[in-house]
Structures are given as structure tokens and as C-alpha cells.
Structure 1
């Protein structure tokens, strides 16, 4: 369905057309008209399916021509679990707000950086994208007030609850006005999400787009049997032999992320690492370089399973297997997005084989392990 038929403002339709967006994704087709009518929405759809735009566009439309906000009394609050996602969502709001005849002031706030510039920037903000902890710090400092919020968005609600934000979120909910629009978006409908849905949402429109497990057909999954000490040479061999660009590599720890990135760089492959122990400035800059193609390989922990938004990411490598099938799905879901194909490569040690069988059983697939011992890892041009 075309965006033109969904009820968005002409300014936003022009902005979409300028970026060659004409056809809406399924989540957008259903969510945008409902949000424009101020209905509560529960949207369940995989990461990369267009969820962010499905609420950004109608929220901006609804804010046009509304009353002027009192200073530091925001109208729309978007809660997200990570700093990376906060910046990603903010960028979408900012991009489309700038196309409006009367731009809406948006701001992202999160931890990892000084709070003082964020406090000063709160003047006349209409849309605030925030992580829960930093939001409460701003509330405690009287830098922002939540009593006049018209729309609340919980983005990646399943991840937020899994990361242990429940107490902080309950405190935030207690500060909000009872009469408001509630929009809850999640990749999966877990028990926690369903419980929050029952408390927060009033006669919501429920939109459930097919789950990630059923939409991985665009991802070519490959698995190598490899000894632990041969993972590094195998990774370098695959990247060089196949001339891979824009490769996202997942490892089990921050220490290993640094070590793998160092080895890649030492062997002539431009790479860096990003993880929770890096400063926010370094994380933002490394992600920017990777997204723009300046950086060939980004090595990370599960920090980026949801916090990265790249229109076309061709390669994901599970250098270390994740702890659960669900995490595996989220990882490889970084590729094969927006109807573009992708490749997911997994390294499986002898100790990993049983765990990898569990992952395959959950996903209802069966992969033949390629034996790395049959590959001459020194044969790299």
C-alpha cells in the first residue's frame, strides 16, 4: 500500500518520496492510520520491519497544529532500552521533522555522557527519546516534566523488560497522566510484554506481523566446524577470500571483541570493536563509520543485536554462538532486512555442536557443517 493512502501530511509524503519511499511495510500500513486516530496500538513485528517509521510519521502529523508545549513539559515520550537505539530513533524523528513547515523539536537523552548538556537542551522539546535511567535523572533534577504527555511509546519493549528496567518503568508510569495514547512495539510477544500490555493499553489495535523465525528466508545461513584457536584465521580467510565488506561480527565478551578487532587490523583488514565498556562517543563514532562503509568490520557483543539500523547489512558472523536461539535470531536478523538478501556465518566448535543443534531445531532448519580443517587457511591473497 502506498504512503499516500494512509493519511499523512503532504510535507511528510514529499519527504518520503524524496527518499524513494513509496510503498509502506505491513506494520506501517496498519499502525499509521490507527495512531493518527489516537488509538492505542500493540505492534509485534521483527526488527528491521519498519516499526520506527510506523509511529514517528503519525506522531509528527498529530503534533502539527497542536497547542504549544509549556517549557520542559514534553508531549511525546519514547522509551528505548539502549543508547544506540535512542540515537537511531531520534535521527528518524529529526529527519522527518525537518521536512515539516513547523518543525517539531526532538531530543534524545541517555546515559554514558554528561547530563548537563541534556538538561540545557530540554527547552521547548516536544518529543523526547529516552532510556529509563537517564529520564528519571532528568525528572529528579526538574529538567523535564511528564504530566502533560499526550503519547507514550515503548520501543523494543521485550528487550527493555528483559534487561531489568521494570522498576524504573513502573516509576515512570506513575508520573504520567492517565489520559494519553499508548503505543507498544516489540519484536516478540513475551509474557512480560503481554502483562505490560494488559496494564497500559486501552482497547488497543493489535498488529502482529509474522515472526522473525518465519521471515529468515532471505538470509543464507552457513556454519563452519572449527577449533577455537582457528577461529581468527578462519574469519580472516573468509573476509579476504570472498572480499567481504560491511561485516558485523558477534563475540562473547568485550575483551574478545577488542582482541578480534586488533588481530583483523594487524592482518590488513580495517576493523574496530564496540561494546558497553567503550565510551558513548567511541561507540557512536564506530557505528557511524561502519554504517557509512568507512569501516569494513565491526566486532561487537550482543550490545548491537537491536541497536543498529542499516538499510542493507550484507554479512553477520557469529564468531561465538549466542546463549539462546532467540539471541541467534536477533543477531542474524541484522541482515536480510527490508527485502534485501544477506548472509549469516556461524563458527561452531566441537563443544558448541549440541547447542547449535538446539538452535537449529528451534529455527526448524538444518545446516551442514563445513569442515574448516579441509581449508588451507594460509591461502589468503
Structure 2
């Protein structure tokens, strides 16, 4: 099924070709027509399935029909849990809106940076991508008004609810017009999400595409049994021995992420950390350099991984295992995307072996275990 059969305008289909998108993913085949028809949508699909483009493309078409709103009154509101995802979503909107005949203004707002430039940038806004806390600050300052919102999108809705945004979401919902289109996108269907979807959505089109197993087939998984004190040297050995040029390393805490980066740098391996304690400028710069290939190693915590979307990332390394098997799948799913194979490597101490067995059982896949103690 080509994109031309989904009801998108010639300008958007040309933009897709220019960006090397040829065939819509399953989630895009279902979501695009539903949004164009102004239906409420609940879409459940794994990370990397094309969810962002599935709502960006039809919303750009719908927004073109609603010009002439008052100033500082956005038409579309997209709520996201992290600053990195806000920037990522904004960039997708901007990329696909460039060839359109009408100029569409998209802005991303989030905390951690000065609010004043964001307030001034609200002039002539059409599409607003926001984290909940900063949005409420802007509303309180009369910098933006939500009374003209025609479509609300909750992207990564499961993560927003898990991170405790429920109270802020309720405040935002109370400020929106009752008559609007609602779109919920999530990687999982949790109890909290079921509850909010029952309150929020009216006769929704429900699309559920859960195919984590398929994405794992492209990922070559291996685990090395290494003591905690040898994990640092072993990580450096892997990076140098395999001449890794672009590797994403997962750490379990902010402190550990910084410690890993310091050790890598002392051993002449270019690395930066991305986590909640870093300034927004530092996070944005690190992510841009990593995506462009200028930065060799990016060390991230699980929360920050939500904004790391790279089609051809070759290596993911778990310095420590995550608590949840779902988080493990999410981590290694950063590689093996866009039909390109990737390598996922885990460093597992003796104390973590039982937990790793649980992860493999939940994942439904056995991972090759290698004794790493004698390799160094």
C-alpha cells in the first residue's frame, strides 16, 4: 500500500519521497486515514514503528483548513513526557511542513530553559508540542491560550502517566474545549492508560500493533559475564576491539552515567552523558553530535532514551541491567531498526544472572552468555 492511497496531499507525498519514505508502516496505514477523518484514535505500537509520522502527516493536512485563528491560540496540542521527545516531534512537523503551500508554525516548549523566549515565540503558533509542566506555566502567564485547540495528542501516554503527570494532565484537560479530536499513542496499554482513554476518547478507532518479537529478530544479542569492578575496562575493550564508531551505553543512574563518561574520556574515548541533571543545552548538543556521528559514545539513563531515535544505530550496550524486562526490550530496540541489523551487548555480573534469566524468559529469547573474565 503506497502513501498516495492514504488520502495525503501531493505536497506531503512528495515530502515523504524526499525523506526516503516509500511504504507506510502498519501503524501509519491505520492511523493516517482515521485522523484525516477527524476520529478519536488509540494507537498501541512499539517504539520505532512510525507512530510520530502517523499523526504528524494527517494533522498537517487538517491544520491547513483552520487558518485565521486568534494570535497565541494553537490549533494542535501535542503533549510529551520529555524535552528530547518534544524537540524530536517538533522537527518531524517542521520537516514535513516545509513543502506545504501555507506556512505552518510549530513550537516545542519545555522546562530547563528560560521561559521568556518561549513566551515571545508564541506569536502566530499553529502546532504546540509541550511537556505538561512548562505548558501550565505558559498558560498561567497568558502566553498561550488553549481555547482553540481542535486536536489533542498524548504521545508516549504510558510514560507520561508512569512519570506522575496525571495531576498536570487533568489541569490541562480542564482548559481545553470539550469538542475536539483526541489521539493517544503508547507503546503499552497499562491500567492507567485504559482509565484515561475511557475518560478522554469518544468512540475511538483502536489500533493495536504489538510486534516486539519481529524487531528483536534484527538484533544480535550477546551477554558477557563480568564482575562489577571489571565492567569499566571491559566496556573500553569492546569499544576499541570492535572499533565502535557510534555506541549507546545504558546506565542505571545519573551518577553511574557520569562515572562511565569520566573513565572513557580518561582513556581517550570521546563520550558524553545525557540525563536529567544536565542542562537542556548540554543534552541537546550531546544528542545532536551523537546522531550526526560526531560523538562516539553516548551514555544515557532510561528516561532520556525516549528521545533517542536513530534508524541505523549499530551498537547498544547495557552497562547494567534495567529493573524491568520491558525496559530491556526498549533499550535494545534502539538498534535493529529500519530493517538494519544491530548489536545489543549486556555486561552481566554474577549478582545479575538470575535477573537476566527472568528478562530472557519474559522476552521469549535466549541470549548467548560468554565468560568475559578471561578475555581481558
Q: Which range, TM-score by smaller chain?
A: over 0.9
Is the 8 Å Cα contact of residues 49 and 338 (structure 1) preserved in structure 2?
no
Secondary structure of residue in 2 paired with 1:20: coil
Q: Which runs of 5+ in 1 are unaligned?
A: none
Question: Counterparts of 1:165-244 in structure 2 under 5 Å?
Answer: 165-213=165-213, 215-244=215-244
- The residue aligned with 1:63 is 63
Is the 8 Å Cα contact of residues 75 and 150 (structure 2) preserved in structure 1?
yes
Structure 1 residue 216: Cα displacement: 1.3
Secondary structure of residue in 2 paired with 1:215: helix
- The residue aligned with 1:91 is 91
Secondary structure of residue in 1 paired with 2:216: coil
- The residue aligned with 2:306 is 306
Is the 8 Å Cα contact of residues 221 and 368 (structure 2) preserved in structure 1?
no
Q: Which runs of 5+ in 2 are unaligned?
A: none
Structure 1 residue 252: Cα displacement: 1.5
Is the 8 Å Cα contact of residues 188 and 211 (structure 1) preserved in structure 2?
no
Question: Counterparts of 1:135-150 in structure 2 under 5 Å?
Answer: 135-150=135-150
Structure 1 residue 126: Cα displacement: 0.7
Secondary structure of residue in 1 paired with 2:272: strand
- The residue aligned with 2:108 is 108
Question: Counterparts of 1:16-27 in structure 2 under 5 Å?
Answer: 16-27=16-27
Secondary structure of residue in 2 paired with 1:305: helix
Of 57-66 and 162-171, more deviation after overlay is shown by: 57-66
- The residue aligned with 1:30 is 30
**Residues 145 and 112 (structure 1 numbering): CA distance in 2 closer, same or farther, change over 3 Å?**
same
Structure 1 residue 243: Cα displacement: 1.0
TM-score normalized by the length of structure 1: 0.97
Distance 2:30 2:353 in 1: 41
Is the 8 Å Cα contact of residues 107 and 129 (structure 2) preserved in structure 1?
yes
What is the number of equivalent residue pairs in this alignment?
376
Distance 2:115 2:373 in 1: 52
Structure 1 residue 268: Cα displacement: 2.1
Secondary structure of residue in 2 paired with 1:262: helix
CA RMSD of the aligned region, Å? 1.0
Structure 1 residue 213: Cα displacement: 4.5
Secondary structure of residue in 1 paired with 2:307: coil
- The residue aligned with 1:316 is 316
Is the 8 Å Cα contact of residues 254 and 277 (structure 2) preserved in structure 1?
yes
Structure 1 residue 214: Cα displacement: 5.0
Q: What are the superposed Cα offsets for residues 282-332 of structure 1, whole Å, 9 maximum, x if unpaired?
A: 000000000000001001111323121112111111001111111111111
